[in-house]
Amino acid sequence: MDNRIALPALAVASLLGLAGFGYGAYQAGLSRTPLQTDVTTTEQPATEARAPAVATAPAPAVTTPVMTAPVVAAPVVAAPAPRLQVAHVTHVEPIVTTWQAPRQVCEAVTVQRQAPVRDERRVAGTLLGAAIGGVVGHQFGGGSGKDAATVAGAIAGGYAGNRVQAGRQQANTYTTTEQQCHTVMEPQSRTDGYQVTYRLGNDTGTLRMDQRPGDTLPVRNGVVRAY
């Protein structure tokens, strides 16, 4: 094709394309504008063909970062511990139980014992005394009186001999050491607790405890405790 003919034809086609694009944009603007109607006149829609609307991509949403202030934790202040209330001890009296307990006591004792007696009936002394008494009694009297004196002397001599032998047997003693035991009663005691008197404010009270307390006693919920 001749260049003199092709260049003008290309220019004309470009002008027609630009005109069509502008007309389509104009119609698209009209479609987005609301139609105004008159009370008496109604505008008829145009019958001309409209160019297709050009789709446009939506603008990207711009997100603006939100600046937040840092959260600062408030300092925790510990509440002071409640002060322990105490009661003051004013007097302590031991509770003592006493009784008497038997105890056996043994000790060595020196004693005097009688020697064993061989002739418990003291026959020897009686016979010897009777013989001597009979001889002596026979010296008195005469005839039948001599016999009576002999018999009386023998009886008296026998008795005297028995007593003499008994005395000698009792005097026949010896000394020895023996262990002797006897029971004695001894006092016993034990401490079963303590009667404690205390002061709490202006009030006083007593409390029994198993152990001796110190100078103070703890108080919980207004009550004095024995530890």
**Which three-class secondary structure string do you get for 208-219?**
EECCCCCCEEEE
Extended beta strands in the chain, E state: 86-114, 173-200, 203-209, 216-220, 223-224
Q: For residue 42, what pLDDT is reported?
A: 42
Rounded Cα–Cα distance for residues 192 and 204 (Å): 23
pTM of the model: 0.37
How much is the mean pLDDT over the chain? 74
Q: What is the pLDDT of residue 216?
A: 93
DSSP per residue, 77-127: -PPPPPPPPEEEEEEEEEEEEEEEEEEEEEEEEEEEEEPPPS-TT-HHHHH
With a cut of 50, say whether residue 210 has pLDDT above it: yes
Torsion, Cα 161 162 164 170, to 10 degrees, reads 160
Phi, psi of 190 (to 5 degrees): -150, 155
pLDDT of residue 92: 96
User: What contacts 24+ positions apart, CB below 8 Å, involve 7-12?
Assistant: none
Indicate if the pLDDT at residue 201 is higher than 50: yes
Per the CB < 8 A criterion, the answer to whether 122 and 165 are in contact is yes
For the cut 90, the answer to whether the pLDDT of residue 192 exceeds it is: yes
pLDDT bucket at 168, cuts 50 / 70 / 90: confident
How confident is the model at residue 34, as a pLDDT? 45
More confident residue, 86 or 15: 86
If pLDDT is split at 50, 70 and 90, which confidence band does 79 have?
low
Give the mean model confidence (pLDDT) for residues 204-208. Answer: 93
**Tens of pLDDT, residues 19-49:** 555 555 555 554 544 444 443 444 444 444 4
pLDDT at 149: 79
Percent of the chain with pLDDT over 70: 61
Residue 225 has pLDDT above 80, yes or no: yes
Query: Which of 79-88, 136-145, 181-190 ranks highest by mean pLDDT?
Result: 181-190
pLDDT in tens, 81-108: 555 589 999 999 999 999 999 999 999 9
Is a pLDDT exceeding 90 seen at residue 226? no
More confident position, 217 or 59? 217
For 183, the 3-state DSSP assignment is strand
